[in-house]
Chain A
Amino acid sequence: MRIALLEDDRDQIALLRGWVEGVGHSLHAYERGRDFLREVARESFDVFLLDWMVPDKSGTEVLAWIRANLKERVPVLFVTTRDSEEDIVTVLQSGADDYLVKPLRKLEFLARIEVVVRRTRPSGDRDDAAELGEFHIDAARRSITRSGEAIDLTQKDFDLAVFLFRNQGRLLSRNHLFEAVWGKSTEINSRTIDTHVSRLRTRLGLAPENGWRLASVYQHGYRLERLS
């Protein structure tokens, strides 16, 4: 899971980074609201974590911008020391999906993230096996078939295909794809991803005449769509 955090306290960032990376997620932390908004406008994330009080913008301002400007309904979890009933109600009514009061408890925090993401994308996209039209994907066995016919893919192509199918309909940034398939620490040429995507289009027949589109979105990334 790729997480964007708005938080100006570096000790809090270090704590949350350890928690989420410990369970295999990636955390991108921003200490200023404007930096956070710039990144979420051009990158894709699975969930946003917002502190209320940061130096340049309030978490509520950031939440309002997200709900007004982002086409995708990314879940928002407020993480703040403000604990009045009025504050909690205001934030939830403004479009946040959940609200956690600091200090945080590790397991509850991680569970709340899982829940808001599952609630937003309830399609069972983390199941090992899935039927998607003519495709059958078995992530555990690392097999993919189209109309019953097995398709040979390289390891990275397979991982990329699974990630795209699991996130069908979402616009995914190149960096998001890099992290999900190659790992956060890996540095690869941006053209590498284009090569893999192009090969997937061909090998899987992801074309409009087959009811699929794997669209390239200029300066952003890719979106896999089912047309029929």
Chain B
Amino acid sequence: MSEQPPILIRIDPDLKAIVPKYLANRARDCAALREQAATGAFGDAKRLGHNMKGTGGGYGFEEVSRLGDLIELASVAGDAPRIVSLSDELADYLSRVAVIYE
């Protein structure tokens, strides 16, 4: 994953104080999603996907919103392998994203 090129995201400097926490929270979501998929906690996974969908674009991370939407749909379908795959995709994105405040 780390060999992939960084993904540069330009973000409003006004958000500088809250973006690191936002990204850290999403990293935590990745781990939670894998556990929820393993235990069949699809309601919890749906909520995480729903919240990602709602917040990602506002922070400037459209990809988080896109993946959140797909996670929510996979959770509604009870599709555990898909949730794991999407959480891996999210983790990969988070490992590559590089924020530029301007």
A is bound by B = yes
Interface residues on A, range: 10 to 19
**Once the chains bind, are B58 and A81 in contact (CB under 8 Å)?**
no
**Once the chains bind, are A103 and B14 in contact (CB under 8 Å)?**
no
Point out which of B15, B22, B55 has the most chain A C-beta atoms below 10 A from its C-beta: B55
Given known A-B contacts A11-B25, A102-B58, A81 and B12 have beta carbons under 8 A apart:
no
Which A44-61 residues have a C-beta within 8 angstroms of B?
53
- The interface residues of chain B lying within 8 Å CB-to-CB of A105 are 57-58
**Once the chains bind, are A11 and B22 in contact (CB under 8 Å)?**
yes
**Once the chains bind, are A9 and B15 in contact (CB under 8 Å)?**
no
**Once the chains bind, are A81 and B54 in contact (CB under 8 Å)?**
yes
**Once the chains bind, are B53 and A102 in contact (CB under 8 Å)?**
yes
**Once the chains bind, are B53 and A106 in contact (CB under 8 Å)?**
no
Determine, out of A12-20, A29-37, A162-170, the stretch whose residues face the partner at the interface.
A12-20
**Once the chains bind, are A11 and B14 in contact (CB under 8 Å)?**
no
The chain B residue with its CB closest to the CB of A9 is B51
**Once the chains bind, are A103 and B56 in contact (CB under 8 Å)?**
yes
- The interface residues of chain A lying within 8 Å CB-to-CB of B58 are 12, 15, 102-106
In the complex, A22 has a CB within 8 A of chain B: yes
**Once the chains bind, are B18 and A14 in contact (CB under 8 Å)?**
yes
Mark interface residues in A175-209 (1 if CB within 8 Å of B CB, else 0).
Answer: 00000000000000000000000000000000000
Q: Is the interface of B mostly helix, strand, loop or mixed?
A: helix
Given known A-B contacts A11-B25, A18-B14, A18-B18, A103 and B51 have beta carbons under 8 A apart:
no
CA distance A49 to B30 in the complex (A): 29
CA distance A105 to B55 in the complex (A): 10
**Once the chains bind, are B55 and A18 in contact (CB under 8 Å)?**
no
- The interface residues of chain B lying within 8 Å CB-to-CB of A81 are 50, 53-54
The chain B residue with its CB closest to the CB of A103 is B57
Interface residues on B, range: 10 to 19
In the complex, B59 has a CB within 8 A of chain A: yes
**Once the chains bind, are B12 and A103 in contact (CB under 8 Å)?**
no
**Once the chains bind, are B14 and A15 in contact (CB under 8 Å)?**
no
Given known A-B contacts A102-B58, A103-B57, A15 and B50 have beta carbons under 8 A apart:
no
Which A65-110 residues have a C-beta within 8 angstroms of B?
80-81, 102-106
CB distance from A17 to the nearest CB of B (A): 9
**Once the chains bind, are B12 and A12 in contact (CB under 8 Å)?**
no
CA distance A12 to B18 in the complex (A): 10
**Once the chains bind, are B50 and A53 in contact (CB under 8 Å)?**
yes
In the complex, B65 has a CB within 8 A of chain A: yes
The chain B residue with its CB closest to the CB of A16 is B58
**Once the chains bind, are A106 and B54 in contact (CB under 8 Å)?**
no
Beyond known contacts A9-B54, A11-B51: 17 more, CB 8 A cutoff: A11-B25, A11-B59, A12-B58, A14-B18, A14-B22, A15-B59, A18-B18, A81-B54, A102-B54, A102-B55, A102-B57, A103-B53, A103-B56, A103-B57, A103-B58, A106-B12, A106-B58
11 contacts between A and B (CB under 8 A): A9-B54, A14-B21, A15-B58, A15-B59, A81-B53, A102-B53, A102-B55, A102-B58, A103-B56, A104-B57, A105-B58
Residues of B within 8 A of A (CB): 12, 14-15, 17-18, 21-22, 25, 50-51, 53-59, 62, 65
